Amino acid sequence: MRHGTSDSRQRVERRLFDVHARLERARAELALADEQLAALEEAASDARTRMLVSETPLADREWNDARRHAEVMERSRDAARHAVADLERAQDELLARLVV
């Protein structure tokens, strides 16, 4: 193996190691966001039920607040999902470069 090729391979391996570590963190963040979203969606559902039963302005406001929190978390979860997909693509590309 030529020296230049060895250096190139080492750079790809270092990048692959970095991408892998970032991918593990992103997957953990995605799992956490999924859990938080489920809890917020449940809270919004409960608040909606209370709003429908009580028909008070306070219950309506609580439902709207809970729904907004769930929507914000859903966007955060979607961003985490996209980050995982991007890192998986990067990892696949780096692995392909090592095989070739």
As averages over each run of 10 residues, the pLDDT of the chain (100 residues) reads 72 96 98 97 95 92 96 97 98 90
- Are 47 and 62 a contacting pair, CB within 8 Å? yes
For position 5, what pLDDT does the model report? 75
For position 1, what pLDDT does the model report? 46
3-state SS class at 31: helix
- Are 32 and 77 a contacting pair, CB within 8 Å? no
Flag whether the pTM goes above 0.75.
yes
Length of the chain, please?
A: 100
Q: Measured between alpha carbons, how far is 18 from 10 in angstroms, rounded to an integer? A: 12
For position 65, what pLDDT does the model report? 96
Query: In which element (H, E) is residue 63 found?
Result: helix 57-99
Task: Give the residue extent of every domain in the chain.
Answer: 3-99
